[in-house]
Chain A
Amino acid sequence: MIKHIDAASHTRGESQYIDDMWQPADLLHAAVYASPVAHGKIVSIEMQDALKVEGVAAVFTAQDIPGRNQHGTIIQDDLVLADKDVHYIGEPVAVVVARTPEIARAGVKRVRMEVKESPGVFDAREAYAKGEIIGQPLTFTLGDVDSVWEKCAIVVAGSTETGGQEHAYLETQSARVIPLEGNTWRVYASTQSPTAVQKTIALMLNIPFPQVEVDVPRLGGGFGGKEDQATQWAAIAALSAWKLKRPVQIVLSRAEDVRMTGKRHPYSSDFKMGLSKEGKILAYEVKMYQNAGATADLSPAILYRSLFHATNAYYVPNVRAFAVSCRTNLLSNTAFRGFGGPQGMFVIEAAIAKAAEKLGMAKEEIQRKNLIKEGEMFSYHQQVNAPRAERTWDEAMQIYKISDIKKEIQAYNDKHYETKKGCAVMPICFGISFTTTFLNQASALVHIYTDGNISVSTNGVEMGQGVNTNLTEITARALGVRPERIKIESNNTKRTVNMSASAASACTDLNGNALLHATAQLCERLYTFAASELKLADKAKVAVVAEKVLYDGKETGWNWDKLIISGYLNRVDLSAHGFYATPNIAFDAKSNQGNAFAYHVFGTAIIEVTVDCLRGTYDIDAVKLVHDGGSSVNQLILRGQVEGGLAQGLGWMTLEEIKFNEKGLLLSNALASYKVPETYFMPDDIQVKFLEGVDNPASPFGAKAVGEPPLMYGIGVFFAIRSAMQTFSPNKTFAFNAPMTPERVLMELHGDYLKEVQR
């Protein structure tokens, strides 16, 4: 197992992000003037004062865009710079270009805009009621809920809220654009979607795609926040560079980044669930109102995933799941690890919690009884293949001894009054594939040099998730060479083209398979050549293992170096292009049915907490989980993704709270007012076990995708805290509103006191 291939240079501070690259002497810096009002018509933009600032080179607005002023991928409603109207506070309106970023920001402060304000809508349900929706509402249907309700022993109904979430990637949005000869442009961008950046800039400047070269060395974190929303900043830098014929860089400050970029979508949902008296779920109906913010961005695709995962890891024979994307005058919400899945899963977990209360049954009992089994079907009519929901559940219960955990909690709670412990079990099921079928393609380009070293380019963007390490390991295994031989290149739109975003957890799957297609061609050529040179009868028995050329398992006397140099001298093509398109997936967007996913990832987590019911604070004591990672390519990378995703999920459910004021102004607008997990917040006791002896034919070497699924383990913390609160106040009913901040805990436990307070 190799280590993260960038780790050594990361620890030495030698890895370069956009702002770290050596700067051309003539580099200019751009800063953005953003709308200070949530909704209105632009009357005028006053730029003269900004231009007077010494060192300001120019100020540009939408009027300066020669071509298409648009960066939306699904629906064309996302302007690079606001044109006639403004739709949210933080919408880019003008760009000031100057000698230094400080001067550019000083210029921004002197831009004035007159706006004829209109009322804003900020609430998803209100937007829906006013007909402000994006795309069409969607419904997934399985069986017939309406005919089942009256056969149910109990029916519960309720509402839930889940909040937004700031990505808080440590490297803010950044791009640098360098003019090359012949109206071509090199763009260094911190993006998960190099092709989206290329396309947007080319259409904006009215030039052919090949005249825009996008290069992505690495990202200082993405988490979905740079899937669609990196494009705008690169386009703004490109417009400035194109106008001035000078290199221009934009690096958002943290304050700008938080105030101008979209976040995870908040959802407001209603549920209804019917069960047998034994706790079998017979019918589930859900209505989800997604707060998309001002533009479509990826919201329609995210909405789909909320539906795909509306029944989580459970089989429900009768489902009606409705979801609608609602347009509001807030920052345009976007992809974030889980991509709508967590929002959908939260609702059914809430429904089960409520059903458990009504049936007087433990929540875990209902959860376990309804886990999806071989032959059963999801609400989108895909039959589950090799489900491991029950297996991960049962192993988790057995390894971590849930009965002991519950006994200890009971004993603690009997002894303590003001602090209470609670626990919850959270199973997850997450489908792997882009749900937009055509995106499930990738390409790779492999060159072997005459020194035997190998250059690999793919569509996979390294953002910390370890794709480059996985690709190194895959190449080394496929070619039989040492990992040190392999250089994974930056993503560059001149080396591999038409890239899907590095997203949907599918980056290693798609690019690893494309890479294997390339290496298979190289092996075929090299083994054929070796067989003929060495007079070996059957080329199928030639292999390279640990850099030795073997025939039928025995050494031939040739090694990798000899093979490559001989191949070169005999004019063997040492380059190969590989391509992969995920087979056997098809989803019909008319019927909302089909095999949307290549496979599913399963897992089960147990989360334990202690709540201080006097102060409303809590500690997460432990998270213990069993995860289905397939037969992983690299255990270190796998574990890192599980632990990191978990932290984000725990944060989303507890302390990460996005707040706006009544005018649509973001209040949680800095890392001082928006808190993400730090060392003390995360429990010391995190145990991660992987299923053993499992494979996955759809992925290179049998691994399973891992990027997004572990985030959803975090949902369990909400229910663990709630369970402790119920132990403290058994007669109170608690809402299903996340995040469960200390404020919410205390207000729910003791809010009655405020009625006594004399003001």
Chain B
Amino acid sequence: MPTKIHFLLNDRAVCTSEPGGLLVLDYLRKKEHLAGTKEGCKEGDCGACVVLIGDLEGEKVHYRPVTSCLTPLGELQGKHLVTIEGLNLADDLSPVQQAIVAEGGSQCGFCTPGIVVSLTGFLMQEGWDVSPAGIKKALSGHLCRCTGYASLKRAGKILQNTIAKDLVQTKSRIETLIALGALPAYFRDIPARLRALPAMHTEEAALPSEFMVAGGTDIYVQKGEALPEARVKILNLYPEIRGITRQNGHIRIGALTTFEEIAHHPQILEIMPEMPQYLHLIASWQVCNRATLGGNIINASPIGDMTAIFLALEAELVLCEGIKSRSVAIKEFYKGYKKLDKTPGEILTEVVVPVRDRETKFNFEKVSKRKCLDIASVTSAVRVKLDKGAIGDIALTMGGVAPIPLFMRNTCAYLLGKPVSKDTVKGAMPVAQSEISPISDIRGSSDYKRLLVRQFLIAHLCKLFPESVKARDLI
């Protein structure tokens, strides 16, 4: 008997034996003929394929919009998959749909269903304000080439002016949204129906997996054609390696913890208060709901943003194979372009960050062609603590300037013990330039990347120590 996946698709239960590595997008369009979910780019950039995935968390179901073009079908086991068809009321438009129609927020219409899904998903987030910033976050993962977004923002304003007040302090957003005609009534019974779903039937794997998929946001872009046919191990079926805890002065982050969860977690905010602002430079809400910290680190892209950040935090990585486990410093983990200190059987399970004292400062800098939601030209993080006015502890990283995410060892060594001053910054420049080796590519010329390294050094120190270092003395 092949593997069978049980889940709810809109208002009906589904049991499928399609391959677990098949994309949810392809499953919807080709097997279910649910054509409201569109294929726009198949790499998570356009949002035309956004659906909601509902996870049972306690008594409630937590719905998250995700790009179905990067989500494997196998992960839906026990979950509620909602497409635009599942949000439509029989004979009326929902408030989200009405607002878009009223403001002319749909022109050619191809991007529209995904936008309706994300906006509805946004309204479903318990405790979230329907504010212009929130609406932008919901729209962030969607490309619309027709409207220029102004009418969509105005549609958001309508929601803010009409139903936002009803969503404040409700016991259950879902109940309220059903009452407002923003969700069909069947949503009410979903928690009970999810609990009643049978478990996944898995055939004992005869052969080892060819691919391991965490969030899928990178591997599906790279190997999208191969994965549906391949033997794929879907790591999200092992939720025990997800979540954030604090133990003995360390923050332990499960490798499957998503960017979205990391960015808003109180433990993370304590060490990096500006993390939510960094996030919209990094990826859209819909992708952040999928992308995992472990995936980012293992993917070993030299321009991984989260990797640059956790490298500056000097995290420890916990690698497991069966019952064996070992720890390796992230600083030592990257051995060459996409070469890791990891055996094929090992899985990254945890990222452990020591909590430093409150005087430790942190900053993240990133420049990409498009300011938000783009891949970096250069990405950089710094962690620094002063000791009697001099640099007492520093970790500086640069992504996009070497074959690996680069810990700037020589520059850090140079800076250590020096006073925070413009001369120190100037002195560090040649050191920094000598330990990078950027190449020219679509993200920028090697000269540009060298220039950015200089600018980031200045930016980090000006931002963290505005009293001691001023941009006007350096540029």
Contact = CB atoms under 8 A, between A and B. Distances in A.
A682 to B, nearest CB: 5
Contacts of A754: 447, 450-451
A102 B39 CA distance: 14
B393 interface: no
Interface string B362-405: 00010111111111010000000000000000000000000000
Interface stretch (A308-316, A366-374, A637-645): A637-645
B231 interface: no
A172 to B, nearest CB: 8
B110 interface: yes
Contact of B451 (A617, A671, A672, A753): A753
A464 interface: yes
Given A13-B36, A670-B43, A757-B450, A679 B149 contact: yes
Contact of B375 (A418, A645, A672): A672
Contact of A221 (B145, B225, B370, B430): B145
Contacts of B145: 167-170, 221, 223, 644, 648, 676
B104 A3 contact: yes
B369 A657 contact: yes
B113 A220 contact: no
Contact of B106 (A7, A679, A750, A753): A7
Nearest to B434: A758
Given A11-B116, A417-B471, A254 B151 contact: no
Contacts of B161: none
Contacts of B443: 673
A668 B441 CA distance: 10
Contacts of A759: 433
Interface stretch (A14-22, A197-205, A556-564): A14-22
Interface in B212-255: 221, 225
A619 B442 contact: no
Nearest to A465: B107
A171 B110 contact: yes
Interface in A459-476: 463-466
A620 B124 CA distance: 31
A540 interface: no
Contacts of B372: 678, 680-681
B4 to A, nearest CB: 23
A10 B23 CA distance: 24
A743 B369 contact: yes
A648 B150 CA distance: 13
Chain A CB count within 10 A is highest, among B41, B88, B152, B367, for B41
Interface string A430-458: 00000000000000000000000000000
Nearest to B103: A636
B450 A680 contact: no
A678 B108 contact: no
A678 B140 contact: yes
Contacts of B39: 19, 254
Contacts of A254: 39-43, 46
Contacts of A105: 225
B93 A12 contact: yes
Interface in A191-239: 218-223
A262 B149 CA distance: 26
Interface in B448-475: 448, 450-452, 454-455, 458-459, 462, 470-472, 475
B471 A615 contact: no
Given A170-B145, A418-B475, A643-B150, A466 B107 contact: yes
B344 interface: no
Contacts, number: 262
A221 B146 contact: yes
A675 B369 contact: yes
Contact of A743 (B103, B111, B445): B445
Contacts of A636: 103-104
B112 interface: yes
A532 interface: no
A8 B111 CA distance: 13
Interface stretch (B94-102, B163-171, B202-210, B412-420): B94-102
A615 B377 CA distance: 12
Q: Which secondary structure dominates where chain A touches chain B?
A: loop
Nearest to A710: B148
A12 B94 CA distance: 9
Interface in A249-295: 253-254
A464 B107 CA distance: 4
A13 B113 contact: yes
A695 to B, nearest CB: 23
Given A617-B367, A675-B370, A22 B33 contact: yes
B89 to A, nearest CB: 9
B419 to A, nearest CB: 22
Contact of A4 (B36, B38, B106, B136): B106
B296 to A, nearest CB: 15
Contacts of B458: 614
A757 B433 contact: yes
Nearest to A220: B110
A751 interface: yes
Interface centre among B33, B97, B139, B140 (most CB of A within 10 A): B97
B35 interface: yes
Contacts of A640: 104, 107, 146-147, 151
Nearest to A758: B430
B143 to A, nearest CB: 6
Contact of A646 (B140, B148, B450): B148
B428 to A, nearest CB: 13
Contacts of B85: 13
Identify which of B97, B102, B104, B143 gathers the most chain A CB atoms within 10 Å of its CB. Answer: B104
B113 to A, nearest CB: 3
A686 B152 CA distance: 13
Contact of A678 (B36, B143, B150, B365): B143
Given A417-B471, A686-B150, A746 B455 contact: yes
Interface in A2-53: 3-4, 6-17, 19-20, 22
A513 B229 CA distance: 55
Given A105-B225, A754-B451, A15 B109 contact: yes
Contacts of B116: 11-13
A59 to B, nearest CB: 19
B142 interface: yes
Given A7-B100, A17-B110, A417-B472, A619 B451 contact: no
Interface string A466-492: 100000000000000000000000000
A158 interface: no
Contacts of A646: 148
Given A418-B475, A614-B458, A672-B375, A678 B370 contact: yes
Contacts of A619: 371
Given A670-B41, A753-B454, A12 B97 contact: yes
A463 B108 CA distance: 5
Contact of A418 (B442, B447, B472): B472
6 contacts: A10-B113, A105-B225, A637-B104, A647-B149, A667-B441, A672-B375
Interface of B: 29, 33, 35-43, 45-46, 48, 83-85, 88, 93, 96-97, 100-113, 116, 132, 136, 139-140, 142-153, 221, 225, 280, 365, 367-375, 377, 430, 433-434, 441-445, 447-448, 450-452, 454-455, 458-459, 462, 470-472, 475
Which 9 residue pairs across A and B have the least CB separation, nearest first? A13-B36, A464-B108, A10-B109, A647-B148, A220-B110, A13-B113, A464-B107, A13-B84, A20-B35
Given A418-B472, A677-B149, A747-B447, 11 more contacts: A4-B107, A11-B93, A11-B97, A12-B88, A13-B88, A169-B110, A418-B475, A464-B146, A615-B452, A644-B107, A758-B434
